[in-house]
C-alpha cells in the first residue's frame, strides 16, 4: 500500500492508502479543497486510515442492519460493519467498505477505472464514516447552511425547502462567506464550539473547506417579516433532532451524537429566525450576530 493523501472534513481526517497500481484523484470541484494529495502535517481531532483496492464485491445477502433508501446500506459482521453503496440494480456494489466499529481501520473496495480511481472515498460513504468519527469527537452533522460574518459562523438550520440555499445566496450576495448550504459539522474545541463546511452541498453549490467559531444556530421559519423567537431548551432540542444526522443504526454512535447535541445546547444560543426571502433577512442576521435583534417569546 502507498500513501495517496488525506481527505479532511472539518475536524476529522481520512488517511488514504491505495494499492500500488491505483492512481487516486479528486478532480470534482466539491472535493477540491478537502483533498490533500500528500499526507498533511496537521493533527486532526480524529482520523481513520482507509485502505483502497479496486474490485467489484457484492453486498451481503443477509438483511441489512440499516437501509439508507436505495443509496446505501449497513450490515453487521462480528466486530465489523460492512457499508455498501451504489448497488441498486447491480450484482455488485460500487463501494464496499469493511470497517471495525471502533473506527481504527477500514478496507474500501471500489469499482473504479483501470487507470484512474476517481474520488474513491466520497458521498455517501465519507459522510457515514464522518458520523461516527464526529460523534466520538463530541460533534454532530446538521442539515444546515453556514454563513460567516466578521469571522464567525451562523448556522441556518432546516429541512429541505426551509430556505437554506435561498438565504445562503442572499448572504453571499451581501458579501458573507458561505461554507455550505446544506450540511455542516458542529463540534467542540478547547476554545469553544466551531462549525465546518463539507463537500455535501445543496442547490446553491457552496462547499468550502474551512472552519470558524460558531456564533449561534438559527432554526429557519419563512415568514412575512424578520423577527427572532426565543426557543425553550426542550423545544430547541426537538427542533435540532429534526435537522441532525444521528446514526441510529449503532447505539454508541447515536448516543455520542445525542450527547454532543445536548452539550451544544448548553453552550451555543439556539433561536428560531423568522425571515423573508429578501435582502432584509441578511440585515437582520447581521443585527442578530451583533446582538441588536431582540428576541420575542413564543
Instruction: Looking at the structure, tell me whether residues 124 and 154 fall in a common domain.
Output: no
Half-sphere exposure of 112 toward its Cβ, with a 13 Å CA cutoff?
24
Instruction: Looking at the structure, tell me whether residues 43 and 115 fall in a common domain.
Output: yes
CA distance 240 to 266: 13
Answer for the pair 202, 164: CB distance below 8 angstroms, yes or no. Answer: yes
User: What local confidence, expressed as pLDDT, does residue 188 receive?
Assistant: 96
Q: How many domains, the chain?
A: 2
User: What local confidence, expressed as pLDDT, does residue 265 receive?
Assistant: 94
Instruction: Looking at the structure, tell me whether residues 246 and 177 fall in a common domain.
Output: yes
Q: Estimate to the nearest angstrom the gap between the alpha carbon of 181 and the chain centroid.
A: 11
Answer for the pair 19, 1: CB distance below 8 angstroms, yes or no. Answer: yes
CA distance 210 to 67: 31
User: What local confidence, expressed as pLDDT, does residue 70 receive?
Assistant: 85
Instruction: Looking at the structure, tell me whether residues 104 and 59 fall in a common domain.
Output: yes
The C-alpha cell of 78 is what? 462480528
Instruction: Looking at the structure, tell me whether residues 151 and 196 fall in a common domain.
Output: yes
Instruction: Looking at the structure, tell me whether residues 95 and 167 fall in a common domain.
Output: no
Answer for the pair 93, 112: CB distance below 8 angstroms, yes or no. Answer: no
Half-sphere exposure of 47 toward its Cβ, with a 13 Å CA cutoff?
15
Instruction: Looking at the structure, tell me whether residues 152 and 236 fall in a common domain.
Output: yes
Final residue before a domain boundary, out of 86, 121, 136? 136
Strand 244-245 and strand 140-149: the pairing is antiparallel
Contacts for 170 with CB less than 8 Å, ≥ 6 apart: 277, 278, 279, 281, 282
Cα 60 to Cα 34, 111, 185, 244: the distances in Å are 31, 16, 31, 29
User: What local confidence, expressed as pLDDT, does residue 229 receive?
Assistant: 92
Count the Cβ atoms, other than its own, within 10 Å of residue 58: 12
User: What local confidence, expressed as pLDDT, does residue 104 receive?
Assistant: 92
Instruction: Looking at the structure, tell me whether residues 25 and 93 fall in a common domain.
Output: yes
Note the helical H segments in 67-198: 125-136, 164-173
Strand partners of residue 212: 195
Domain range for residue 117? 2-136
User: What local confidence, expressed as pLDDT, does residue 232 receive?
Assistant: 92
Instruction: Looking at the structure, tell me whether residues 245 and 171 fall in a common domain.
Output: yes
Instruction: Looking at the structure, tell me whether residues 37 and 17 fall in a common domain.
Output: yes
Final residue before a domain boundary, out of 136, 155, 180? 136
What CATH number has the domain bearing residue 257?
3.40.50
User: What local confidence, expressed as pLDDT, does residue 53 receive?
Assistant: 95
Instruction: Looking at the structure, tell me whether residues 241 and 265 fall in a common domain.
Output: yes
Identify the segments of the chain with pLDDT beneath 50: 297-298
The C-alpha cell of 168 is what? 445562503
Query: What SS3 class is residue 9?
Result: strand
User: What local confidence, expressed as pLDDT, does residue 288 receive?
Assistant: 86
Answer for the pair 28, 62: CB distance below 8 angstroms, yes or no. Answer: no
User: What local confidence, expressed as pLDDT, does residue 38 receive?
Assistant: 66
The C-alpha cell of 180 is what? 455550505
Instruction: Looking at the structure, tell me whether residues 55 and 102 fall in a common domain.
Output: yes
Final residue before a domain boundary, out of 136, 161, 186? 136
Amino acid at each position: 500500500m502507498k500513501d495517496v493523501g488525506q481527505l479532511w472534513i472539518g475536524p476529522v481526517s481520512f488517511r488514504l492508502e491505495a494499492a500500488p497500481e491505483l492512481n487516486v484523484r479528486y478532480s470534482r470541484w466539491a472535493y477540491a479543497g478537502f483533498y490533500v494529495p500528500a499526507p498533511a502535517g496537521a493533527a486532526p481531532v480524529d482520523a481513520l486510515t482507509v485502505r483502497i483496492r479496486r474490485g467489484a464485491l457484492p453486498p451481503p445477502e443477509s438483511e441489512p442492519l440499516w437501509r439508507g433508501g436505495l443509496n446505501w446500506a449497513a450490515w453487521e459482521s462480528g466486530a465489523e460493519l460492512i457499508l455498501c453503496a451504489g448497488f441498486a440494480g447491480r450484482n455488485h456494489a460500487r463501494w464496499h467498505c469493511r470497517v471495525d466499529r471502533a473506527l481504527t481501520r477500514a478496507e474500501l473496495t471500489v469499482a473504479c477505472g483501470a487507470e484512474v480511481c476517481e474520488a474513491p472515498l466520497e458521498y455517501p460513504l465519507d459522510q457515514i464514516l464522518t458520523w461516527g468519527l464526529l460523534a466520538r469527537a463530541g460533534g454532530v452533522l446538521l442539515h444546515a447552511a453556514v454563513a460567516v460574518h466578521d469571522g464567525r459562523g451562523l448556522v441556518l438550520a432546516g429541512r429541505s425547502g426551509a430556505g437554506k440555499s435561498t438565504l445562503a445566496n442572499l448572504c453571499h450576495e451581501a458579501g458573507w462567506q458561505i461554507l455550505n448550504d446544506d450540511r455542516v459539522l458542529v463540534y467542540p474545541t478547547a476554545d469553544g464550539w466551531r462549525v465546518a463546511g463539507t463537500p455535501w452541498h445543496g442547490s446553491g453549490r457552496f462547499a468550502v473547506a474551512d472552519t470558524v467559531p460558531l456564533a449561534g444556530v438559527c432554526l429557519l421559519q419563512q415568514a412575512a417579516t424578520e423577527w427572532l423567537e426565543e426557543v425553550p431548551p426542550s423545544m430547541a432540542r426537538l427542533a435540532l433532532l429534526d435537522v441532525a444526522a444521528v446514526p441510529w443504526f449503532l447505539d454508541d454512535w447515536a448516543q455520542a451524537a445525542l450527547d454532543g447535541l445536548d452539550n451544544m445546547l448548553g453552550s451555543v444560543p439556539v433561536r428560531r429566525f423568522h425571515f423573508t426571502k429578501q435582502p432584509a433577512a441578511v440585515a437582520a442576521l447581521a443585527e442578530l450576530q451583533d446582538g441588536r435583534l431582540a428576541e420575542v417569546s413564543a
